[in-house]
Structure 1
Amino acid sequence: MQRLALRTRLKPGCEEIYDREHASVPAELEQAMREHGLRSWRIYRDGLDLFHFVEVDDYAALQAALRDHPADQAWQRRMNQLLDGDFDKGTGGLTLVWELT
């Protein structure tokens, strides 16, 4: 299992819309993500900064499986209107510096 930390940033003024959109993620999208190895996805927001903590069997495989999925395409179109720049695709996420377990 992989544990990843990703980051994104909202466009100014989109905070409430982003929070509202995530209050109810489409069931079809959630089902597709789980079918392709997603175990959990948490998003924390600090102002415009978003931090995603993802637990998944294989993140690259999840991205590949969802790339052409209609529910994910629709979701990405909505989210991309709110984000300032591209999602952390392909970067491998944030670098883990320290961990206490």
Structure 2
Amino acid sequence: MRRIALHTRLKPGHEREYDHVHATIPAELAAAIRAAGVHGWWIWRDGLDLFHVVEVEDYRRMRAELREHPANVAWQARMATLLDVMDDYPGADTGLPLVWELPAAADRATS
């Protein structure tokens, strides 16, 4: 299991709409994301900046599996109207580089 951090940015004026759209993710999309190996996905918003943390078995495999999935294609088209910069969902990125980590207490106990 890997934890991947991502950063995206909203177009100005789309904050409420983004929050509203994410209040309920389509069930088909959620099922596809889970089937692609995602165990959890969290998004925080600070103004226009969005910070994602994804717990996933294999991030590149997840991106490849979702690339042509109809629920994800529709979702990405919707996100393209809200986000400032969208890639073409190639699956080649690896997320943000980890700079520092405070290990969980359980991790320290076993080392």
Fold match by TM threshold 0.5: yes
Question: Which structure is richer in relative contact order (CA contacts within 8 A, separation 6 or more)?
Answer: 1
Q: Determine which of 100, 106, 109 is the counterpart of 1:98.
A: 100
Aligned counterpart, 2:59? 59
Contiguous gaps of at least 5 residues in structure 2: 104-111
**Which residue of structure 2 lines up, in the alignment, with residue 41 of structure 1?**
41
Question: What TM-score do you get using the length of structure 2 for normalisation?
Answer: 0.87
RMSD in angstroms over aligned alpha carbons? Answer: 1.3
What is the percentage of aligned positions where both structures have the same residue?
57
Runs of 5+ in structure 1 lacking a partner? none
Q: Deviations over 1:27-53 (max 9, x none)?
A: 000001111100000000000000000
| Contact 2:60/2:94, CA 8 A, preserved across alignment | no
TM-score of the two chains, using structure 1 as the length reference: 0.95
Paired with 1:94 and 1:32, the residues of 2 have a C-alpha distance of 23
Deviation above 2 Å: which 4+ runs of structure 1? 87-91
For 1:27 and 1:48, the matched residues in 2 are separated by: 26
Bigger radius of gyration, 1 or 2? Answer: 2
Other structure's SS at 1:8 match: strand
Which letter does structure 2 place at the counterpart of 1:100? Answer: L
Paired residues for 1:65-80 under 5 Å: 65-80=65-80
Report the secondary structure of 1:42's partner residue: strand
CA distance in 2, matches of 1:86, 1:77: 10
In 2, Cα distance between the equivalents of 1:46 and 1:53?
Answer: 14
Cα shift at 1:92: 1.2
Structure 2 SS opposite 1:78? helix
Q: Which residue identity does 2:62 align to in structure 1?
A: L
Amino acid at match of 1:82: L
Corresponding residue pairs, total: 101
